[in-house]
Copies of this chain bind each other. A is one copy, B any other.
Amino acid sequence: MQVETVSLKALNEGPASAFVERLGGVFEHAPWVADRVAPRRPFASLADLFHGMREAVEGATPEEALALLRGHPELTFAGAMTRDSVGEQAAAGLDRLSDAQRTRFAEFNKAYRERFGFPFILCVRRHGRDSILREFERRLILPADQERETALKEVLRIAALRLDQRVSGPDRLPVSGRLSTHVLDTAAGRPAEGVEIELVEIASDGAHSVARAATNADGRTDGPLIMDRPLPIAQYELRFHVGAYHRRQGIPLADPAFLDVVPIRFAVAEPEGHYHVPLLVTPWSYSTYRGS
């Protein structure tokens, strides 16, 4: 879902029509939001621009608001979707659902739309596989008022992410999280270099690979394992291949080695948070913790 980026400066200085053309899609099938904020230019920062859009949405008539919600596609691929939605749902793995899962989603969608009169809207980039279903279950039984508010909040989260991708400028929106790690060889008192690491999402339908990396001379991966996007709410496992590392150090190990692949299982609850999950390791012990 690569979208061309434009600078806030260009949007501020260009004609209103260009502004609306570039930002009309930030709210799904609702270019009127961009239309209403265009006269409020120039914006000093992305935060200001988003604030203006949020006010436009909150100031909409009930009919407009309902139409905004109804303009969103269902969380399947049955309906017509905008290019943004296709990309977002693909990123969440929704294009790789099993038949049973598709059926389950279809039933949820139907029940939800019958109950609330608009499709289930979720900023899917903030959720892992299991979390999407849990949200469905949780929200399907909320009172209508409260659920409408929840849906609108998700619409704004989707818009913030789209804005962050489309426009560069000062004061970026806090839409991204970060997942990083660090491996220390506490028997040798130095960073563990060359440790292979896999990050997998642990879902009810199995483990799904998310990233792979190896530690550098400082015991860190060259960049965070996840960055510049939300961390999907999910269970993860970091798998550290410490057996191979220790063998390369020439350390005599048991056969099989007491520790070979060390799995650290943890959950992300704040998609915009920083999760630093280090490993302090010897051939016979290890520690981990949420660091900073």
Contacts and interface: CB of A to CB of B under 8 A. Distances in A.
Contacts of A269: 254-258
How many identical chains are in the complex?
4
Interface in A182-212: 182, 184, 186-191
A262 B202 CA distance: 13
A8 interface: no
Interface in A248-285: 254-263, 265-267, 269-270, 280, 282-285
A186 B282 contact: yes
A291 B279 CA distance: 11
A235 B191 CA distance: 23
Contacts of A218: 292
Contacts of A184: 289, 291-292
B267 A256 contact: yes
A20 interface: no
Interface residues of A, number: 40
A284 B189 contact: yes
A290 interface: yes
Interface string A97-119: 00000000000000000000000
Given A184-B289, A289-B186, A254 B270 contact: yes
A58 B93 CA distance: 64
Given A262-B265, A265-B262, A292-B218, A284 B186 contact: yes
A280 B285 contact: yes
A257 to B, nearest CB: 6
Contact of A261 (B187, B261, B265, B286): B265
Contact of A190 (B233, B235, B261, B292): B292
Nearest to A267: B256
Contacts of A190: 290, 292
Q: Which 6 A-B pairs have the closest CB atoms?
A: A189-B284, A285-B289, A187-B187, A254-B269, A186-B285, A256-B267
30 contacts: A182-B292, A184-B289, A186-B282, A187-B282, A187-B283, A189-B258, A189-B284, A189-B289, A190-B290, A254-B267, A254-B269, A255-B269, A257-B267, A257-B269, A258-B269, A258-B290, A259-B265, A259-B267, A260-B267, A261-B265, A263-B263, A263-B265, A280-B285, A280-B287, A282-B282, A285-B289, A285-B290, A286-B289, A287-B287, A287-B288
